């Protein structure tokens, strides 16, 4: 019996050294399913979308977020005209309004006016202020010129607590709407302002049908123009009152 026991132990030792799993080895962990892989930041799942034709209703599931690079043929060919500089905008989450001109009489930027707008663009959670890209305000003025006498309502501006891939985080974006103007019409006009990356003005333009606003931004240098539709209920900022400024407006930041 002793000899049999020794033979069994020897067999186990040999087995463990020959690549064969020993009897006491812990069971291998099952591989993670493909669905457990990290999802893309823009993957917001799917939603049910229904259409009706000829009295018949047809439904299908579509992606909540749908985006693509803008076609080169869809970009503006002619240079942009300089806007009037007139801006009428109200920050919805702050209840603050600005109506004035972003230029001085000589056509240069009015830093005092830009500082007031920067303050309106501040993060609504912590009150942080950043120097917003001035060209974004020029686009805002072009929108105001296109819809004279109508106020632009800003849903969200600078967001300090946003992910760093967001143009809101880099103070070069705005979520906006105009009363009695459809977001599709506003979206279409914003597209006419995009001169593309070759001219240094590539834009990101997003349509938010559920929350009823459009997103307008300047892309990072070298990035292509981008378009998307987001059916999620993204609201672009909270209702919390800011606690104070962390730095003066127009101060350069890294």
Give me the pLDDT at residue 96, please.
98
- Provide the strand spans (E) within the chain: 46-53, 56-63, 65-69, 86-91, 96-101, 152-156, 173-178, 203-208, 213-218, 226-230
User: Of the candidates 181, 83, 95, which has an alpha carbon nearest to the alpha carbon of residue 137?
Assistant: 83
pLDDT tens for residues 133-178?
999 999 999 999 999 999 999 999 999 999 999 999 999 999 999 9
Tokens of 70: 């803008």
Residues 6+ away with beta carbon under 8 Å from 57: 50, 51
pLDDT tens for residues 41-58?
677 688 677 878 888 888
Give me the pLDDT at residue 212, please.
97
Give me the pLDDT at residue 29, please.
57
For the chain, the average pLDDT equals: 82
Residue 21 and residue 12 in contact, taking contact as beta carbons nearer than 8 Å: no
pLDDT tens for residues 6-16?
444 444 444 44
Query: What are the boundaries of each domain within the chain?
Result: 68-230
pTM of the model: 0.73
Give me the pLDDT at residue 32, please.
52
* Mean pLDDT value across residues 205-223: 96
Give me the pLDDT at residue 124, please.
94
């Amino acid at each position: 019996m002793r000899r049999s026991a020794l033979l069994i132990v020897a067999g186990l030792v040999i087995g463990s050294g020959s690549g064969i799993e020993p009897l006491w080895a812990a069971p291998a962990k099952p591989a993670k399913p493909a669905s457990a892989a990290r999802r893309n930041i823009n993957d917001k799942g799917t939603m049910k979308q229904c259409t009706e034709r000829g009295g018949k209703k047809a439904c299908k599931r579509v992606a909540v977020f749908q985006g693509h690079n803008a076609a080169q043929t869809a970009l503006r060919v002619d240079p942009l005209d300089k806007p009037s500089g007139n801006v009428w905008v109200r920050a919805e989450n702050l209840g603050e309004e600005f109506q004035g001109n972003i230029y001085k009489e000589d056509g240069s930027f009015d830093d005092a006016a830009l500082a007031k707008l920067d303050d309106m663009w501040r993060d609504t959670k912590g009150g942080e202020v950043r120097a917003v890209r001035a060209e974004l305000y020029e686009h805002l003025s072009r929108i105001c010129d296109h819809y004279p006498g109508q106020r632009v309502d800003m849903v969200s501006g600078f967001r300090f607590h946003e992910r760093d891939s967001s143009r809101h985080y880099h103070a070069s974006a705005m979520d906006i709407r105009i009363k009695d103007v459809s977001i599709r019409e506003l979206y279409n006009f914003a597209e006419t302002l995009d001169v593309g990356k070759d001219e240094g003005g590539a834009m990101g333009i997003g349509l938010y049908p559920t929350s009823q606003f459009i997103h307008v931004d300047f892309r990072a240098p070298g990035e292509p123009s981008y378009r998307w539709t987001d059916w999620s209920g993204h609201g672009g900022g909270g209702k919390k009152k800011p606690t104070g400024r962390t730095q003066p407006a127009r101060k350069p930041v890294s």
